[in-house]
Structure 1
Amino acid sequence: MKTPKTLAMIETQTLDELGHHFERNLNFHVDSEGRQFWKIDGPEIASLAKLDRLVRLVLETDLVPFRIRVTMRWESVTVPDVFGRNHRVRQPRYVKVAAPNSFSNATEGLANFFSSRELRGGLTVLQQSNPAANQLLHAPHIRLFMDVFFRHRISECLGGAMDTLVDAEGHTRAEIYNDFSANFHRAMRDSESLRQEWHNWNLGSHENAANLSRHLDRLFEKHGSLTVLHLRLFHAKERTNLITSPVEAQIQDLQMLRACRTRFLDRLRRKPALFTDEPGYVWAILPSLEGGYDLHFTLLFSTVALRRVLADKTVEAGQLGVVLQDHADQVGAYWVQMATGGQGSYLRGDANAVLYGPDWVHGEVRADDVERRGKLMKSLGYLAMRRALVRLKNEPPGQYFGLPERKVRRSRRRSRTAH
């Protein structure tokens, strides 16, 4: 495999944060009314970031993570004399001692990784005996890691001190780790397809993130201040279980959600009294193992335009003598009635921090507020890059992330007429 500089890689920290976000969604179950939700005992997706880091370290160097030296140690032993009496004596013993290879950051990082026993914790997500974990489709480099790992002796001797002997031939655990690192490095180097497959796997997520960044920059430049509304939208009260349902049922359920999304986007463009004129938005379809697919929808309103809309609705409600429903609930109710025909439901992202975590941004974000603007890009970036970390084996082709399409400007040619 050629140099990793040509690969469209994603930063390890980004993958770690992405893993926690995707795990939060994948292992959550929402009831049929969309009002109660709880965490299931699903795979620890965040641990994939640890394995990704290991792969990158092995790829970076062909040197072993541990230096092995033989040293003599004196130890007290009990030996009998000619009369059968036991005596304590000191005898030399030769032992192997392992130390981290400090030749480079990569070798030292590998040694620290193995010594900290992070590898054992990261393997839980690869357990094919777990029905939930068995639904996952891993990235090409993780699949190659699994192939090499489970055929190597390292899979039988994880954990414990590096100097511990692990077989009758006198091999230490550090030597087994060294041998695995060398074997895995060769497997990646000799693979003719890994570089291209890994690049292609990440490419769509990179493009999504770049498009998202440009979309947000244009909105802030145009409006100066945005008001952010996150909703999680469900198309039906009963959705397919992605572990136990037939594949055909899963695909049909996803198609229904996509149809509802299309109707919602069409209605959104024709309802400025609720959505303002040309609001920004970001949508993503994410799976939940026991709850099927759901639509994560983020609206990015011009704050000034939204205030005008809300002022008009306040006046209208006063004239009719009715209590004005919160705007977020108006949007959610519009989804339920107009996109799903009354069959769906919604959850507000600002209603419970468990849904998205405490770092998600809700409400007004000014263009000059660097911190909140950065958090907004970061949180929406999780939606853009979800499929870079892991996917489901039965995910059919199609879009899982989207933004408003930019209108193409047509050039006007000046026609010349004779006078």
Structure 2
Amino acid sequence: MSEPLRIALAGLGTVGGGVIRLIETNADLIARRAERRIEIVAVAARDRSKDRGVDLSRYAWEDDMTAMAARPDVDVVVELVGGSDGPALTLARNTLAAGKDLVTANKAMIAHHGLELAALAEKADAALKFEAAVAGGIPVIKSLKEGMAANDIKRVYGILNGTCNYILSTMEDTGRDFADVLAEAQAKGYAEADPTFDIDGIDAAHKLAILSSVAFGTRMDFKSVTTRGIRRLLAADIAQADVLGYYIRLIGMADTEVDASGQRRLVQRVQPHLVHRDHPLAHVDGATNAVVAEGNFVGRLLFQGAGAGDGPTASAVVADLIDIARGDIGAPFSIPVAELGEAPAAETGDRIGSAYIRFNVADRPGALAEITAAMRDAGVSIESLIQKGTPGLAAGDADTVLVHMVTHDGPESAIGRAMALLCDSPCLTEPPVVLPILDE
């Protein structure tokens, strides 16, 4: 058997502890599959005295994690600290500049700096692996890069944030409103004390940008991801979707289109959708993640599983280490950085689809007529329109009613024009909520 693969582990939180336990528990199995042993030689974290439930006495401790890359007894650095910049990015740069391999679960760093790091890795003939950065234990990066390598991937989309999915599925099951369920999720540890990155869709947008680049062979463009979260959803939206035969899910979706000049353009969006109950994503509950990829020969593939947690995420980290132990380096984004295509953001106004729209309307004569007139003038065809009372509204909204609308298929630009016509309307007590309906 070859010499052991020696790793330094930066970050000893939930995932870091999971990596240590996995490597120790399955050491012999991992060695057989990797054809060499994987050994931890050094660790680093902010608090040396904290009890992490694992024995760290056998490993060297680095007070400055950014110096790990300079250790002569380290082949691979595993970065599990997080954050798009700061010490994590410094460590990543140092590691690759030293010609050592890097494994990370840091989706923010990859989304913002992945192309730079990939170029460093290619220059040094080193590996940059980030399977754990997207969808926890689901091997979706490997599947896109390897299992679907022969396919022209048409679209990739899915449920990429477990916190939001837990909140939405709990709202479905209990009929409770968003703020109440969010507080429960925080108390149970499913949501952070500051949940902004999760509930506003930023976490999912990081993951989508990575998936887009791998799936389409394009340069990553996180800034072009349109992001809309779930904080404005009401229990009434969940209930009305159910009546219509749908569930609401936060969906990250990326696909490409070719404009009139022949330029390939990229659509990347994270936003709540109505998902028909017959669609496989409709029944993804709790903190589970799921990704759908559509190839021109393989068709639709569904990847589903735990999107976070110590065991699933550690599994993805160690799978990357096994690949490195076997000598599997490869281009980080499947295609060398210099050959990744340019795909400017697409103008989405001509895209055809239907939508659910919820209006909070002042209970006064003529309000409904004003809404329908705006739809008519903008060219939006209405499939159904339901007016209800105030369930799910905050106290003090007794003079507000909810109007739920579903449109026929039509260009997105028409709905945009209708919303613009209504933006200053005194009949609306707040801006409308617009949720696309996921096609089959």
Q: TM-score range by the shorter chain?
A: under 0.3
TM-score with structure 1 length normalisation?
0.22
> Counting helix residues as a fraction of each chain, which structure ranks higher?
1
Q: Which has the larger radius of gyration?
A: 1
TM-score with structure 2 length normalisation?
0.22
> Counting strand residues as a fraction of each chain, which structure ranks higher?
2
